[in-house]
Amino acid sequence: MPILILGGQGNLGTQLTKFFSTNYVTVSWDREDLDVLNFLELADRIRELKPELIINTVAYNAVDKCEDKDGYASAFQLNVKLPDFLADLCLDMGSVLIHYSTDYVFSGTETKQDFAENETPNSLNKYGETKFQGEREIIRRHSWGLRYYLIRTSRLFGPTGTSPVSKVSFFDIMLSSASTKNELIVVSEELGCFTYTPDLAESTLRLWETDSPYGIYHLVNDGAATWYDAAQELFRLKKMAISLRPVRSENLFRTARRPKFSVLQNNKVHRLRHWRHALREYFEEAANRSELN
Ligand SMILES: NC(=O)c1ccc[n+]([C@@H]2O[C@H](COP(=O)([O-])OP(=O)(O)OC[C@H]3O[C@@H](n4cnc5c(N)ncnc54)[C@H](OP(=O)(O)O)[C@@H]3O)[C@@H](O)[C@H]2O)c1
């Protein structure tokens, strides 16, 4: 039976498709194949395919836009109704569900900076709120027999997805800003974990292949960093002398509040390598790819 990846051309979905298709018959759908919010069509297509595993990467990730009415409505559909629907379908078909959530379900303080898998979420923003509601739709079906892996992750970076509208990551935004500005303003707070999408895809595959117990997992690269730490490391690696100006979160006037601390502890499985090593590999691989082009 095949493995189905939803959002297969997104940033994470592209890597999952690459990793899973080396070992399994993998079917990858994105917006051009169908609108996942057309639940009737989605159910028909999935029932016809009969996947043993459904991996859902589709989400509404525009954190600030979630704060307004229209953004919240879209987030509710993709982040709550879709996992709710998929959980029911998987339960009915006996398929396993892998779904991704975020560190933004948590909000830490100076004295509480990191979070274990079993801690109770408490989000500061609407995006985190919808992702947590989506989590609950999955978790509550466990007692009825749903087999699931709920993977919380954060700050994804890596090769841009194959979708023509895939978002570029923080590091690529920093690099492109550095080509036009003399000084970059970067938030020197918000301690969290960066995660390289190929590492996350490989760890997801390992979770599946090792028959890990069902439940919640935190998969992020090792080491915590602020956005400022990450920008410093980026320009050090690229040997670029860029002036960085640290700012506090509240001085950026973003619509959604972000947690000052949202480090995810991985207490259950193999740790992923340090994000600095992953970042170095990302740029080495990117350089190799451009040599080939
Ligand atoms: N990005 C992060 O830093 C981050 C941090 C923490 C957690 N996560 C979680 O990790 C997961 C993967 O994130 P990601 O950044 O890889 O997402 P992404 O790049 O936005 O990928 C999502 C994919 O789903 C597709 N899609 C959206 N709406 C659709 C619809 N109605 N029908 C069919 N396809 C649709 C998107 O297509 P279009 O490109 O055409 O919209 C996109 O290709 C999500 O659950 C997210 O919440 C991400």
Q: How far is the CA of 278 from the centre of ligand 1 (A)?
A: 21
Residue whose tokens read 């980026």: 234
Residue 102's nearest CA partner among 71, 63, 143 is 63
**pLDDT score of 163:** 85
Q: How far is the CA of 245 from the centre of ligand 1 (A)?
A: 30
Q: Are 27 and 215 in contact (CB under 8 A)?
A: no
**pLDDT score of 288:** 82
Is the minimum distance from the CB of 204 to ligand 1 under 6 angstroms?
A: no
Q: What does residue 124 show for φ and ψ, rounded to 5 degrees? A: -95, -15
Edge-first strand listing for the sheet containing 26-29: 26-29, 3-6, 53-56, 96-102, 147-153, 215-218
Residue nearest (by alpha carbon) to ligand 1 atom 1: 156
Report how far residue 166's alpha carbon sits from residue 231's, in angstroms, rounded to the nearest whole number: 21
pLDDT (tens, 9 = 90+) of the chain, 293 residues, equals 899 999 999 999 999 999 999 999 999 999 999 999 999 999 999 999 999 999 999 999 999 999 999 999 999 999 999 999 999 999 999 999 999 999 999 999 889 999 999 999 999 999 999 999 999 999 999 999 999 999 999 999 999 999 888 899 999 999 999 999 989 999 999 999 999 999 999 999 999 999 999 999 999 999 999 999 999 999 999 999 999 999 999 888 899 999 999 999 999 999 999 999 999 999 998 888 776 55
- Model confidence, pTM: 0.97
The residue ranges of every structural domain in the chain are 3-168+196-221+262-274
Question: Ligand 1, from 156, 218, 220: best to mutate by most atoms within 8 Å of Cβ?
Answer: 156
The end-to-end CA distance of the chain, in Å, is 36
Is the minimum distance from the CB of 262 to ligand 1 under 6 angstroms?
A: no
Is the minimum distance from the CB of 62 to ligand 1 under 6 angstroms?
A: no
**pLDDT score of 291:** 60
> Domain 3-168+196-221+262-274 maps to which CATH number in 3.40.640.10, 3.40.50.720, 3.40.50.1360, 3.40.190.100?
3.40.50.720
Q: Taking the CA atoms of the chain, what radius of gyration do you get in angstroms? A: 19
Question: Ligand 1, from 28, 64, 79, 100: best to mutate by most atoms within 8 Å of Cβ?
Answer: 100
Is the minimum distance from the CB of 95 to ligand 1 under 6 angstroms?
A: no
